[in-house]
Amino acid sequence: MRLLWIFFFCAALNLTGQQYENFSTANSSIAGNNISSIQIDDSGIIWVSTDKGVSVYDGNTWVNYNSSDVLKSDNINDLYLSDDESLWAASDSGVSKYSVSGPTVENETDYFSVEEDSIVSNNIFSVVSDYLLSVWFGTDNGISVSSVKGIDILNKENGAKLRTDKINKLAVQNDGWVYAATNGGGISRFKYDMVDGISSASIVEKGWSGLPSDTVLTVYITEDKNHFYGTTKGAGSHYEEDSKNAKWERYTVDQGLINNRVHAITTDENGNIWFGTEGGVSRFDGENYISFTETEGLISNNVSDLKVAPDGAVWIATDNGITKLTDITDVDESKTTLPESFEITLDAYPNPFNPKVNVSVGVNKRTSLKLFIYDIQGRLIKKLVDNVYSKGNNIIAWNSINDNGMKVNSGIYIIKAVTASTTITKKIILLK
């Protein structure tokens, strides 16, 4: 048998010049560190909701608003900038509408609560406005819609197409459809028009769709109606509006996602998909995943929201402040070009690790690739990958979970990479 000479080197993708600028109460005047949502207007002004009020950043300074001035509550769950240049602030005591001018909140112009307007609940997790400027409130007891006709309530009690009444997130499509991410009931969608009022379509559920889980944490819809759903078990997407007949894609830790609990999704001008998770941020370019964590400079791995600014910077909201990530598009080709004299390379980092390790596999041509994790006794622990990969470097994450969904113990493990003609191994150490 002809022996293959294999060169071992670090084949992970390297980004040049990336910069992390972190803002927290320790180094800035931002109101609070626990940030739930980000809004960015066309001029690049950053609006964030925190557990201590609303903070606005104009590129130089942070300005704060709280219950001592204009806000009804300091615990803001979500913000939304509507087409009429109004700011909506959803809280645990109702939702308020404010007129804004640049980075300045001028005054409250409207307020909705159970007591004043008979909305379904004061605990509001998400707010959006549709193309008719009707405003939708996602709550712990269903949805309330404020339109020119008054307040409509959508929940199980009044027969709405909802499997559960807890709404984690709302997203509005440019044709008026509103998608509701629910806590255990998949996705429901509704539409309001002047003639027919509110109509609904079918519920999207894990059983027949590509949803990894029915507990959906976020929804993101692009201008050309690509649909992305972040769940507790990864993300799913489809590229047609008809979700039943669409081709679904999945994004999980088995493919390279850094963590399966996906709280935020967005895309950039280069077509990259960004996922904000409870284990950091992953960027997917269609072939490879790149991850950004505290190790690289992220202020916290527990990400709640992310948005791309007009200048291309990615703003990342966490439970410990906010990170501005810039200079992220340039790839160091000298680090990623693979020599023709090898068939496969294998590396892992960090090593030792706890609880996640990134497995870096380089192949010099399009090939089938299998990745396995074994314990030191040679018992199969996890089948990570069984797929076809294009030439280049591929990052696949393992989060110390075996094929039975259980966390493994500290110890030595062996990664085995298998192509049609080559098998190589790498020792890794899990330290807890």
CA–CA separation, 87 and 246 (whole Å):
35
Are 322 and 344 members of one domain?
Answer: no
Other CB atoms within 10 Å distance of the CB of residue 318: 26
List, for residues 15-48, the tens digit of each pLDDT value.
444 689 999 999 999 999 999 999 999 899 999 9
Amino acid sitting at position 157: E
Q: Which two tokens stand for residue 117?
A: 């307007």
Place of tokens 């379509």: 201
99 bridge partner residues: 86, 107
171: containing domain:
19-326
Strand order in the sheet with 423-430: 380-389, 367-375, 411-418, 423-430
**166 and 190, same structural domain?**
yes
- The answer to whether residue 35 is domain-embedded is yes
Choosing from 279, 294, 326, the residue where a domain stops is: 326
The confidence score (pLDDT) of residue 337 equals 40
In the predicted structure, residue 328 carries a pLDDT above the cut 90: no
Q: Quick one: which of 105, 100, 63, 106 has its CA closest to 84?
A: 100
pTM (2 d.p.): 0.74
Asked if residue 333 belongs to a domain, the reply is: no
For residue 229, give both structure tokens. Answer: 């759903």
Residues 302 and 354 in one domain: no
Cα-Cα-Cα-Cα dihedral sign, residues 155, 158, 159, 163: positive
Write out pLDDT tens, residues 174-203.
Answer: 889 999 999 999 999 999 987 778 888 889
Q: 247 and 373, same structural domain?
A: no
The answer on 68 and 170 residing in a single domain is: yes
CA–CA separation, 117 vs 113, rounded Å? Answer: 6
Q: Which of 229, 228, 288, 237 is nearest to 258 (CA)?
A: 288
Least confident of 14-18, 134-138, 161-165, 245-249: 14-18
Residue 174 has what pLDDT? 87
Q: Are residues 215 and 363 in the same domain?
A: no
Cα–Cα dist 422/154, whole Å: 57
Query: Any idea what the CATH number is for the domain that residue 196 is in?
Result: 2.130.10.10
How far CA 366 is from CA of 2, 217, 251, 420, 428, in Å, comes to 21, 35, 21, 11, 26
For the chain, the average pLDDT equals: 87
The verdict on whether omega for the bond into residue 339 sits within 30 degrees of 0, i.e. cis, is no
Burial of residue 165, with CB atoms counted within 10 A of its CB: 0-12 exposed, 13-18 middle, 19 or more buried: buried
Structure tokens at 354: 């706890």
**pLDDT tens by residue, 118-143:** 999 999 999 999 988 899 999 999 99
CB 274 within 8 A of CB 328: no
- Read off the pLDDT band of 327 (50, 70, 90): low
Give the Cα separation of 112 and 122 in Å (integer): 8
Same structural domain for residues 186 and 232?
A: yes
Residues 222 and 90 in one domain: yes
Find residue 234's DSSP bridge partners.
231, 232
Please name the amino acid found at residue 127: V
The pLDDT score that the predictor gives to residue 355 is 92
Q: Are residues 122 and 154 in the same domain?
A: yes
Same structural domain, 222 and 346? no
Residues 278 and 346 in one domain: no
**Residue 2 clears pLDDT 50, i.e. is over it:** no
Question: Would 170 be classed as within a structural domain?
Answer: yes
In sequence order, which residues have a C-beta less than 8 Å from that of residue 245 and are 6 or more positions away? Answer: none
Rounded Cα distance, 305 and 317, in Å: 5
Residue 343: per-residue pLDDT: 67
Does 14 have pLDDT greater than 60? no
Environment class of 77 (CB within 10 Å of its CB; exposed 0-12, middle 13-18, buried 19+): buried
What confidence score (pLDDT) does residue 283 get? 92
Nearest to 372 by CA among 421, 419, 430, 432: 419
Last residue of a domain, one of 263, 291, 326: 326
The tally of domains found in the chain comes to: 2
Query: Do 288 and 351 share a domain, yes or no?
Result: no
